[in-house]
A = this chain, B = another copy of it.
């Protein structure tokens, strides 16, 4: 079933703001068998929005708006919806009473202007909003369904999940969709596609999308079938085949990111870590401590940016740097060993390299990074030549480090 999403608000037409509600809505809609065929962003302009609603309802059975239902004169979604569907707005005292009650709970008095929020499309179902003042609206006529949602994500998301998804699931629709996801670390998009192309091409009931961001590929397998259960079975059977081909580079079958996976592994195995970073400037430590409960496994880190910091505070032997250079496998290994020794952890990690844009040489051009993982038996070092700008090189180096940790903990060669 086709769906369209219209985000309302002049602030969404500035160079600084982007509509992200539609990503959440698309994900939820896809899960229950709706396909988003168009997304639009319009300003606070009643005739333009009314036009947009008419066009959308002409071409799609489900239309969802977000935003433009606050109390101010700029909030015109109610009026435009009334113009577009040809129903008048009716005043519902219970809605305003709920808003008044909400203000009382916060020891404030409701402003007169909030009464505007008491007007809804005649014949709609009112969707309660425990997280804000504006109620949502679920309207259905012979043309299709129109859902009017508030703009703030913390109001929109629970309202859609609790009040819209159940209603939409009850509709008789010919097709259901289910999406299985695989996440792959550090394999180029072209290689992923080359390897799994023959597999997914042989399954015409599944639409495959490969989404690439640096070092992190998501493979989405979306199956279409008569029931949700059938769609799920088809998608997951294909996911198993794809995973068998990609092997251990698949780090997650779900929405867990690489940081979440590594954090979970550290906690499950009761391991601890200390880091010593140069070119990544603390990014690996920041990632490892970004999840709740990280103090269980992360003891501490060194950002040994200067040579002095490496030698005096971290304890890398001066002769290692003198003999092999600061960008070398030997220095990375000594950093990892020193971090582990200083903090008495099960693992130590060291990173040194050239993030650029300056300081590259012929021997160690910009993007050269040495990564060392130390345990009680010593240190193993990986050298990478990473492409891109400073931010990308730092980000990729941290991802390589996380993947080295994941492999080590899981015993993957």
Contact = CB atoms under 8 A, between A and B. Distances in A.
B26 A37 contact: no
Contacts of A343: 306, 308-309, 313
A305 B313 contact: no
A42 interface: yes
A12 B36 CA distance: 10
A312 interface: yes
A308 B299 contact: yes
A281 interface: yes
A43 interface: yes
A250 B93 CA distance: 45
A38 B42 contact: yes
Main secondary structure of the interface of A (DSSP, over half): mixed
Contacts of A55: 55
Contacts of A233: none
Interface string A15-35: 111101001101100100000
Interface in A359-413: 359, 390-391, 394
How many copies, total? 2
A292 B14 contact: no
A71 to B, nearest CB: 16
B42 A41 contact: no
Interface in A177-228: 209, 211, 218, 220
Given A15-B26, A39-B41, A282 B301 contact: yes
A288 interface: yes
A288 to B, nearest CB: 7
Given A286-B281, A295-B306, A303-B301, A211 B16 contact: yes
19 contacts: A13-B39, A14-B26, A16-B23, A17-B211, A18-B20, A38-B42, A38-B48, A281-B294, A282-B285, A282-B303, A285-B303, A292-B356, A292-B358, A295-B305, A295-B306, A299-B309, A300-B303, A302-B313, A308-B344
